[in-house]
Amino acid sequence: MTTLEKIQNKSARVGILGLGYVGLPLALNFNRNGYKVLGLDIDARKTTAINEGRSYIEHIPSSEIAEVKNKGLFEATTDFSQSASCDALIICVPTPLDQHHAPDLSYVINTVEAVLPYIRAGQVMSLESTTYPGTTKEELQPRIEAKGFTIGQDYFLLFSPEREDPGNKDFPSHKIPKIVGGTTPACIEVGKSLYMAAFENIVPVSSPAVAEFAKLLENIYRSVNIGLVNEMKMVADKMGIDVWEVINAAATKPFGFKAFYPGPGIGGHCIPVDPFYLTWKAKEYGIHTRFIEIAGEINEAMPEYVVRRTAEVLSRKKKKALNGAKILVMGLAYKADVDDERESPSFHILDQLLDHGAEPEFYDPHVPQIRPVRKHPYWRGRKSAEWTESSVKSYDAVIISTWHSKFNKDELLAWADTIIDTRNALAGAPANPGQVTKA
């Protein structure tokens, strides 16, 4: 029986390599449609949790994992030799930047190398990790061909970028159109069939490079526009103009304008990282991607701007220096109502406050304790502050970095006399004069 036939009759076994915020929801999408999934990860805590029917991601309930596990549809292992039992291998591992803002493909390469001894004829391999155009062809294809396989004949190779948006109830992952770029026409057909098993809409493109580039364009578009409104915010602040009111007014135009909103920086696994993958690759072709780099510089400078504004407010309002000030940062996660703190600008705000001699703490009901993070090891294990009247009143200032729906505006306004609002979260709230500063 061919791979295509196995996919179509649901006898194919799908291997998900990397069980994080992308891999786990993807596995459950296949499970919901009756496919057996083998999850593979180097983190035994994740594989153990899955095999016990427990979730380790807040917005995915344990009951979902327990249900498909009890049906025999989902199991997990750290033993990559078991990948040989899978008809499809989908790679969902991190693609961070190194200290020089260059792509770090070590997770992808190490994962591919881990399964190479066990790949077999008829399998399909799909890379979902965001990367620069050419990665699938330059890094994965030669390794597979070196094992004696012919791509498009006895092995199928794809790139299909993840579009996961943790916690987005309006667009659950299976409803987001899935781009599929195959190395050959046969790869495209197998890829379309594979992903039709988990997604409602498939968007086939002519090559992995097109799919790789499309993913980068999506996030560069957001990065550049966020950089623009962040710059506009700084200009508007100097002019004494509320930039959020400006944006809302501009957004009434029914064509030619899409509203983006400023913040304390950018976070998550995509926008702070992905644009630099294209910047790095473009240099190979002698092209300087100025828009991308300028937007990146502006967005990366926003935590510093927030801390500077906090210092100005403390000096003007309390005649107090940042050095020695006790500051509470509200919201450690990079976006509202999730427990995902990857690349969160809140870490940079905490770091800079510490560098200025302040005594920073954070409060986040979604992140009760900071997990290991690559770039900010100092904060590992730190626990969220208590949310009590006496605790909040003890801080010289509160910075709203991320606003969760669980936060209580009335208590915040009653307990904190100096608030730096980077999200316009308190717009229209009954604050005292001078109590809230937008930044």
**CA–CA separation, 269 and 273 (whole Å):** 7
Q: What local confidence, expressed as pLDDT, does residue 1 receive?
A: 83
Domain match, 288 and 361 both: yes
Q: What local confidence, expressed as pLDDT, does residue 390 receive?
A: 97
> What CATH number should be reported for the domain holding residue 399?
3.40.50.720
Domain match, 413 and 276 both: yes
**CA–CA separation, 62 and 57 (whole Å):** 9
Residue 439: C-alpha distances to residues 154, 234, 354, 373, 426 (Å): 57, 8, 19, 26, 12
What is the rounded average pLDDT of the residues 151-158? 97
Q: What local confidence, expressed as pLDDT, does residue 99 receive?
A: 82
Q: What local confidence, expressed as pLDDT, does residue 171 receive?
A: 87
**CA–CA separation, 143 and 109 (whole Å):** 10
Q: What is the DSSP letter of 202?
A: E
Domain match, 385 and 323 both: yes
Amino acid at residue number 45: R
- Write out the residue range of the structural domain in which residue 356 sits: 241-438
Whether residue 357 is contained in a domain is answered as yes
Residue 433: C-alpha distances to residues 151, 237, 317, 318, 437 (Å): 67, 17, 11, 14, 10
Domain match, 156 and 283 both: no
pLDDT of 303 higher than 90: yes
Give residue-wise pLDDT tens across range 243-253: 999 999 999 99
Whether residue 369 is contained in a domain is answered as yes
Domain match, 182 and 255 both: no
Domain ends where: 186, 206, 226? 206
Q: What local confidence, expressed as pLDDT, does residue 100 receive?
A: 83
Nearest to 159 by CA among 186, 177, 140, 173: 140
For the chain, give the percent of residues with pLDDT over 90: 91
Domain ends where: 206, 226, 250? 206
Whether residue 228 is contained in a domain is answered as no
Amino acid at residue number 193: S
pLDDT of 173 higher than 90: no
Q: What is the DSSP letter of 432?
A: P
Confidence bin at 113 (pLDDT 50/70/90): very high
Nearest to 191 by CA among 143, 144, 138, 124: 124
What is the rounded average pLDDT of the residues 333-349? 93
Q: What local confidence, expressed as pLDDT, does residue 271 receive?
A: 87
Confidence bin at 167 (pLDDT 50/70/90): confident
Number of domains composing the chain: 2
What angle, rounded to 10 degrees, do the helices at 274-283 and 290-313 form?
140
Query: Which residues form the catalytic set?
Result: 270
Give residue-wise pLDDT tens across range 386-437: 999 999 999 999 999 999 999 999 999 999 999 999 999 999 999 999 999 9
Q: What local confidence, expressed as pLDDT, does residue 384 receive?
A: 97
